[in-house]
């Protein structure tokens, strides 16, 4: 017993002599693709992403216009004859406000499905561009996004006081009395965060009896600590859109601005409250 104890002591002393101080090791996690919760490289399909800075640089009219200009395999057409009511097509699948058209894309805002319950239509005029923090366009059919996700899904994440701070405004005026304006403000005190945005759009249109207007408002109140977050989000949309249909060639030969029948009006009103 005494011999064993004597033999163990040098071993312990040798272990102390060879011990080395380890340097600091930082483990940085990969930001997941929102809507799926996985890193992009682990998703077996094409994922296209964009941030609020990308939307600001593009100077697009709305989200659908930005996707048409900047994302691959996306194109739009104006079957409704209104700039805020396009059919968005992605790899041949459609997300459209036109009731009766086969829908093949699911659209989510902060995890809330914004496809209408009746017909799965998507009202692009009710998604405020100035409140978007990032988007992910995920190709392929995925049951995690629910019914009619045949061609893919669009996940939209909005801003809050922790992801965006400051105040900014913008006013643009163009042909046919088109006026667009937006204002946004946000900030936080480390625990509570706030963000608010408002948008207005109006134009007379290049055809007779084709004036439209749209108003959107967005607000987010956030709380966070080291382990938890809580967001109360309110979205409001009130739009009056006119998209008069095609006219006979004989009528257009007389007056390019003429319409054959009118009015063709779409009125949307939305109040959405989200607690997450």
CATH number at residue 68: 2.170.130.10
Q: Is residue 31 part of a domain?
A: no
Asked if residue 17 belongs to a domain, the reply is no
Nearest to 196 by CA among 183, 178, 181, 215: 183
Residue with tokens 């017909």: 119
The total number of structural domains that make up the chain: 1
| Domain presence at residue 223 | yes
Whether residue 237 lies inside any domain: the answer is: yes
Work out the number of other CB atoms within 10 angstroms of the CB of residue 45: 12
| 117, part of any domain | yes
Q: Look at residue 122 in the predicted model and tell me its pLDDT.
A: 95
Give domain status of residue 90, yes or no: yes
In this structure, the strands spanning 87-90 and 74-77 are antiparallel
Say which residue the tokens 């995920």 belong to.
138
Is the residue at 20 inside a domain? no
pTM score of the predicted model? 0.82
Instruction: Specify the pLDDT at position 40.
Output: 72
Which domain range does residue 66 map to?
40-275
* Sheet with strand 229-242: strands edge to edge: 166-174, 178-188, 192-203, 212-224, 229-242, 265-275
Q: Residue 148 and residue 220: Cα distance in Å, rounded?
A: 29
CA distance 151 to 91: 7
Mean pLDDT by 10 residues, the chain (276 residues): 46 58 64 62 83 93 95 91 93 92 92 91 95 93 84 94 95 95 96 97 93 97 93 97 89 92 92 94
Residue 134 inside a domain? The answer is: yes
**Residue 36: how many other CB atoms lie within 10 Å:** 19
Using alpha carbons, select from 227, 69, 55, 267 the residue that is nearest to residue 156.
55
């Amino acid at each position: 017993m005494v011999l064993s104890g004597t033999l163990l002591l040098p071993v312990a002393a040798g272990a102390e002599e060879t011990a080395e101080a380890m340097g600091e090791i930082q483990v940085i996690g990969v930001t997941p693709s929102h809507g799926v919760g996985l890193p992009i490289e682990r998703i077996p399909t094409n994922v296209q992403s964009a941030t609020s800075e990308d939307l600001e640089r593009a100077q697009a009219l709305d989200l659908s216009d930005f996707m048409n200009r900047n994302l691959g395999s996306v194109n739009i057409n104006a079957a409704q004859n209104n700039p805020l009511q396009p059919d968005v097509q992605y790899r041949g699948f459609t997300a459209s406000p036109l009731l009766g058209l086969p829908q093949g894309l699911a659209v989510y805002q902060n995890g809330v499905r914004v496809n209408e319950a009746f017909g799965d239509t998507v009202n692009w005029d009710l998604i405020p561009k100035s409140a978007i923090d990032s988007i992910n366009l995920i190709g392929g059919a995925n049951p995690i996004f629910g019914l009619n996700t045949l061609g893919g899904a669009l996940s939209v994440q909005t801003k809050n006081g922790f992801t965006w701070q400051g105040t900014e405004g913008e006013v643009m005026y163009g042909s046919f009395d088109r006026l667009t304006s937006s204002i946004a403000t946000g900030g936080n005190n480390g625990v509570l965060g706030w963000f608010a945005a408002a948008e207005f759009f109006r134009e007379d249109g290049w055809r007779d009896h084709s004036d439209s207007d749209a108003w959107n408002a967005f607000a987010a109140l956030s709380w966070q600590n080291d382990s938890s977050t809580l967001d109360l989000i309110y979205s409001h949309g009130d739009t009056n859109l006119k998209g008069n249909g095609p006219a006979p060639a004989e009528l257009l030969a007389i007056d390019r601005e003429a319409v054959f029948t009118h009015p063709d009006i779409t009125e949307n009103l939305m109040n959405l409250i989200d607690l997450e």
